[in-house]
Structures are given as structure tokens and as C-alpha cells.
Amino acid sequence: MMDFASIRVITDDVARLVAFYEKLTGLAARWGGELFAEIPTPIGTLAIAHTRSMELFGAGAAHAADNRSVIVEFRVDDVDARFAALAADVEIVLEPTTQPWGNRSLLLRDPDGNLVNLFAPVGPA
């Protein structure tokens, strides 16, 4: 058996990234010291760790603010309402758009430049 548990974002500024994701999700982080925090959701956990914590896994295993291949995604009730609330505070990559596969998506960047997709299915499917 295997269950998805979390995705971990590596940063040089844990407090800044935690504040961003707490505001974005409306959820409070659980801190495990100054180098690590988690934002649990009913589906999985967003973990945020400092670059220094990666030394335990091997020097150079991860680099902060260097992601160009992963998108952190959150399912929301209303993409357009989220856009209206966030537009002035974040870098928008793609304004709310209905995708061919049936999701309405808003793509933005967190303070480290990681892509974040807020999406909602359009219709019952």
C-alpha cells in the first residue's frame, strides 16, 4: 500500500513562503522548528522546508526557487472569486481560463517563483 502524503517546497525563506500559502489557502501552518512547516489539507500536506534542512538528504539535493517543472495545485470553489481577491498581491501567469479538459484555472507564482494552479471543475464532470 502507498498513500500520497505531501509535496515539499524548498526555500531560503520559510516564513515568507508559509505566510503566502497560509493566506492563499486560509489554513494555518504547523511549525516543526524554524526550518520546517506543514500546511495540512484534507487530501495531502504542503510541506515547506529551508534549504539547510536538505543537508540531511545530501548536499545539493535540492535548490530553492529553482523549480521549472512542478505545479502546486489547489481545487477551489470559485476560481474567479479567488482571482479577484488575489490579483493585486501575486504574479499572475494565466488569468482565469476554462481549459479544454473542463477545469477553470488560475495560474500564479508564489514568492519563490513556483507555479500554483487554482482550479475548479466546470460542470458535474
For the chain, the average pLDDT equals 93
- The predicted-structure confidence for 91-121, as pLDDT tens digits, reads as follows 999 999 999 999 999 999 999 999 999 999 9
Range of the domain at 31: 1-66
Task: Looking at the structure, tell me whether residues 118 and 74 fall in a common domain.
Answer: yes
Domain CATH number, residue 105: 3.10.180.10
Task: Looking at the structure, tell me whether residues 97 and 118 fall in a common domain.
Answer: yes
d(CA 27, CA 124): 27
- Report how far apart, in Å, the C-alpha atoms of 56 and of each of 40, 61, 69 are: 23, 9, 24
pTM of this prediction? Answer: 0.91
- The predicted-structure confidence for 16-47, as pLDDT tens digits, reads as follows 999 999 999 999 999 999 999 999 999 999 99
